[in-house]
Structure 1
Amino acid sequence: MKEINDKARELMKGYCRVCKVCDGKACVGEVPGMGGLGTGASFKSNYEALAEIRLNMRLLHDVTEPDITTSVLGYDLSLPVMAAPIGGVSFNMGGGISEDAYAEAVVSGSKKAGVVGCTGDGVPPYVHEAGFAAIVKNGGYGIPFIKPWEGDELDEKLELARTTGCTTFGMDVDAAGLITLRQMGRPVSPKPASELKKIIDKVHSWGAKFILKGVMTPGEAELAAEVGADGIVVSNHGGRVLDHAPGTAEVIHEVSEPVKGKLAVIVDGGIRTGIDVLKMIALGADAVMVGRPVAVAAMGGLEEGVEKYFDTLKAQLSGAMILTGCKDIKSIDINVLF
């Protein structure tokens, strides 16, 4: 991983420093880029909220080989992790590799590691085109995320995503207000429940599932369940859209409580290690999404880099579960936390 990170640092110069600790402090306000919006408070809150959580160490048990596998939204995962939807290599990551190579690295590397990769969307057509092509190459194994566009563009992109053969579609409503989209003259907007229901009903008519990314309150989690979403992602878009939002680890327990069993609860934000995965599962998530570290791994090592990063998470999660007495993912609960 050191070699992969070193290569990524070289390729992403001026866009991401690939810091030893990815906490948002060195890249404050660097949007476009890999930083957090404004003061960077939301990005930093994601990292700090997780870092402040402590674990109860328990060793008087017989757990020696924990089962870290799980099933979420019909995907059998080698660990409760997905690659978050990130795109825009040229304007966010320095353009050291092509968008096609990046998307393929994320989707193919994720599949080889036994997890699922999500793809991003943006103004330049090549962003979603690269993501869709990567999913097609992997036999439909991947989740395309579409921005909350206005008018016909949303329907057109959903129809294009359908041709990939994917079984799940995502919408990152937390992209509303992204500076990069405004700068390109293509702003996106929030979606009322009535409109979301029509979108979800359409996806369901195709026999597919729908994930809504950008839920940060219990009320909106319940609303997502009411309109038929199959899953939500508790996310503040990596701290890139609203300054001074709370860290996702601060809200995940409260957000997940009213919808447990009704839909899949996924969370992203500041997750760097297998221990972070354990913490988020203990707080109420069914799975997590990892963003920046996967992007760095893809830039620095392509498909192999992504696979190696997930292998690192597997070893870390397994070790943490042994040291907290968790035999499988279902046994991870709030009692793991100090």
Structure 2
Amino acid sequence: MDYKELVENARKCLGKCHGCPICNGVACRNTIPGPGAKGVGDTAIRNYQAWQDVRVVMDTLCEKKETDTRLSLFGHTFSYPFFAGPVGAVAMHYSDKYNDVTYNAQLVPGCAEAGILAFTGDGMDAEVMRGATDAIKDCQGVGIPTVKPWNLQMIKEKMDLVKASGALAIAMDVDAAGLPFLKKFVPPAGSKSVEEMKEIIALMDVPFIVKGIMSVKGAVKAAQAGAAAIVV
């Protein structure tokens, strides 16, 4: 299968996603699924435009040797410096080809076999995290579960699953705090203070990644809370 065939086959499984030649957030602005759906819906559009100003400059005078794309992170070495991002509510956002559990069952080992890793998503259904952590456990911990900013009791329950999986790190997508289903959750879930994040991070003995940092101020707060890394 060549890349053209891969793309054509993928479009059959995308469902609500437009499958645009360029994934820049224009066609799906303010829609679900859509990478730029919050606020005025231009975040993904602006990000894509900003990336166009970045250029990799080739050094033409260098030693003749094989290019090394490996990355060492958290005591592990990966073949390439990029990972698969977490996707949740797969059936709702895309199509019924997969649900969260069957999607992660394909994604996690696929990434591990390719020499990288997958971040997995979270959801209201407890089976989502259970399925994700089972897939990561089957891959000897090569994967990073992403826990949403639930109330502390639910976070502890999710982290028990993460610990059992042997995952090499854990993440929390703090930018999910504005999601309606989190705000309406009982007991309340949502945004966390620095002190609350410190308490949460202290529950784990593996690197903790804070995903969804939007500013330098936010990055400083994540560092103060003890985060090992951030995702901007």
Q: Distance in 2 between matches of 1:157 and 1:226?
A: 23
Question: 1:182 deviation in Å?
Answer: 5.3
2:11 aligned with 1:9, yes or no? Answer: yes
Q: Report the Cα distance in structure 1 between the residues aligned to 2:136 and 2:158, rounded to whole angstroms.
A: 14
Q: Is the 8 A contact 2:28 2:36 kept in 1?
A: yes
Look up the match of 1:213: 211
Q: What does residue range 253-332 of structure 1 map to in structure 2 within 5 Å?
A: none
Q: Match for 1:221: what amino acid?
A: A
For normalisation by structure 1, the TM-score amounts to 0.63
Indicate yes or no: 2:119 matched with 1:121. Answer: no
1:6-155 → structure 2 map (5 Å cutoff): 6-13=8-15, 15-31=16-32, 33-37=33-37, 38-155=39-156
TM-score in terms of structure 2 length: 0.89
Give the 3-state SS of the residue equivalent to 1:11 in structure 2.
coil
Change (3 A) 1:203 1:58: same
Q: Partners of 2:47 and 2:128 in 1: how far apart?
A: 26
Cα distance between partner residues in 2 of 1:82 and 1:148: 22
Using a 3 Å threshold, how does the CA distance of structure 1 residues 29 and 63 change in structure 2: closer, same or farther? farther
**Comparing 89-98 with 104-113, which one deviates more in the overlay?**
89-98
SS at match of 2:24: coil
Measure how far apart 1:17 and its partner are: 1.5
Higher share of residues assigned helix = 1
Q: C-alpha root-mean-square deviation of aligned residues, in Å?
A: 2.0
Partner residue in 1 for 2:229: 231
Take 2:34 and 2:94, find their aligned partners in 1: how far apart are those partners? 7
Task: Quickly say closer, same or farther: Cα 1:229–1:26, change in 2 above 3 A.
Answer: same
Change (3 A) 1:5 1:34: farther
Q: 1:167 to 1:64 in 2, by over 3 A?
A: closer
Pairing 1:158-169 to 2, within 5 Å after superposition: 158-169=159-170
1:185-242 residue CA offsets vs partner (Å, 9 max, x unmatched): 43741110111111111213xxx111111112222222222222111111xxxxxxxx
Tell me if structure 2 keeps the 8 A contact 1:69–1:78: yes
1:40, distance to aligned residue in structure 2 (A): 2.4
The code of the aligned residue for 1:214 comes to G
Contact (CA 8 Å) 1:24, 1:36: kept in 2 or not?
A: yes
Give the Cα–Cα distance (whole angstroms) in 1 for the partners of residues 150 and 214 of structure 2: 20
The alpha carbon displacement at 1:64 in A equals: 4.7
Aligned residues: 227
Deviant stretches of 4+, over 6 Å: none
The answer to whether the Cα contact below 8 Å between 1:73 and 1:231 also exists between their aligned partners in 2 is: no
* 1:187-202 equivalences in 2 (<5 Å): 188-202=189-203
- Indicate the percent of aligned positions where both proteins have the same amino acid: 35
Question: What is the identity, as a one-letter code, of the residue corresponding to 2:78?
Answer: L
Structure 2 unmatched ranges of 5 or more: none
Letter in 2 for 1:128: M
Contact 2:74 2:168 in 1 (8 A): no
CA distance in 1, matches of 2:4, 2:182: 36
Contact 1:107/1:138 (<8 A) preserved: yes
Shift of 1:143: 0.8
| 8 A Cα contact 2:174 2:212, kept in partner | yes
The change in CA–CA distance for 1:59 and 1:189 in structure 2 (over 3 A counts) is same
**Runs of 5+ in structure 1 lacking a partner?**
235-338
CA-to-aligned-CA distance 1:112-145 (integer Å, 9 cap, x gap) = 1111111100112332222112112212221111
Q: Give distance in 2, aligned partners of 1:132 and 1:157.
A: 9
Shift of 1:47: 1.1
